[in-house]
Chain A
Amino acid sequence: MKLSIPFCILLFCTVLQTPAFAAKSYDIKVMTPEVQQAINARQARYDEVKALKALSQLGENNQGYVSVLGSDSKAQKLAKVENQNRKTIYQTIVSQNQLGPGGMEAVEAVFAEVQRERAASGEAIQLPSGKWASK
């Protein structure tokens, strides 16, 4: 079987496009007002959340959300709205990328991993095993 050079190049490019070789993108394809609002709100409270994490009043759990670790009422209030905003973002990724009902769990797990990696030294993080640790 004689294969032409353009054909071989096309074949090579096709193979590179397969999931085994290329990372699939899961973007927010349509920036809905709800997602934009969720991101804006998270940006606005970012410093407050960061400060409460530094005081160990908040920690990143292994499901992609913040958990209240102390008795600070402000931390409880912030955690509630922060988690609502995160859920909006996660649900949008799941629905816009058609990940199905099990996709939410995958999205939450990956965001949790990213949060663990981004946590500053001394902040509380929950490991995949469920155990809490200080980074």
Chain B
Amino acid sequence: MNAISHLLLIALIFSALSGCTVKAVGDPDRPITINANVVVDVRGLKQTATSIEDTVAQGG
């Protein structure tokens, strides 16, 4: 298997795993579906929210 075949296989696997997801990952009990093209990862969003609120609280 040459290098090009390797790269094609990686691209195919990546597409299969990430290309068509419409539900949020993170908490499978609370998926947030926005539209067919946008995925919101609740875990990632929560990390961002926590970080911002930590920053706000530091000013207190």
Contact = CB atoms under 8 A, between A and B. Distances in A.
Interface residues of B, number: 37
Interface in B2-60: 6, 9-10, 13-14, 17-18, 21, 24-26, 32, 34-35, 37-50, 52-53, 55-60
Given A93-B48, A110-B42, A113-B46, A103 B34 contact: yes
Interface of B: 1, 6, 9-10, 13-14, 17-18, 21, 24-26, 32, 34-35, 37-50, 52-53, 55-60
A23 B34 contact: no
A44 B49 contact: no
A35 B14 CA distance: 35
Contacts, number: 108
- A interface, size bucket: 35 or more
Interface of A is mostly: helix
B44 A25 contact: yes
A19 B34 contact: no
